[in-house]
Amino acid sequence: MDRKKQAREIFRLLKKSIPEPKTALEFRSVFQILVATILSAQSTDVQVNKITKQLFRKYRSIKAFAEAPLEELQTDVSSVNFYRNKARNIQNSAKMIISGFNGKVPRTMEDLVRLPGVARKTANIILTDGHGITVGIAVDTHVIRLSNRLGLSEHKDPVKIEQDLLEITPEKDWPVVSHLLILHGRTVCNARKPLHENCVLFKICPSREE
C-alpha cells in the first residue's frame, strides 16, 4: 500500500473511532487559545485547563494580560513547567498584538510566528482552532511518534513531518489530522506500551510486530 492510500485508510478508521476530534484545551476566544497553547508546551492539557479556568476569569481581555504585573501573572501560571518564561511570552504577545495588530490576534502564519512564544506548531493550532483557517498541520510529540509508527513519515523533524502529512492527506482532512493522531496517541498508541488490543489500526500498522 502506498503512503497516500495508507494515510487515507488510517484517517478513515480514526474518524470512525473518534467521531468528534478536537483540542482538549478549553477557550472562548482566539487570544485564549493562544494563551492556553503557550502554556501547554511540556505540560498536560488537563493541567493547563485547571490554570486557565481561573486565569481567564481574572484577565478578561488582551489589555488585562498586557498590563498585569509580570510577577503576579507568573504566580498565576506557576504550576506549569517554565512558567516564568511562558508568562513573559504571553504578556509580550499581548503587548505586540495591541501595538502591532490593532488588538486582534493575527490571522496569518507569517504574523503569528512573530509573537513571543509562538512557533509554527502553536500558530497552526491558533489558526485552525481559533480562526478556523487551516494552512498546515500542528505537529507535537504524539504526531511525531504516530507518524513514524504508522509509516506516514520517516522524519523526526516536525517541519518535515508536517510537509509529509500535507502531501499525503486531502486538504479537507487537514483540520483534524493532528487531533486524530494526538487523541489516538494519548488513549491507545502511547509511547511506552501501545494498547494493541484496543487499536483500530492494528491490522494495517507497520509497527505492530515491534
- Please identify every residue annotated as catalytic: 121, 140
- In degrees rounded to 5, what are phi and psi of residue 159? -65, -40
Residues in the chain: 210
Q: Is 30 helix (H, G, I), strand (E, B) or coil?
A: helix
- The DSSP code sequence of 103-131 is TS---SHHHHTTSTT--HHHHHHIIIIII
Please identify which residue in the block is written with the cell numbers 495588530: 101
CA angle 187, 33, 114 (to 5 degrees): 115
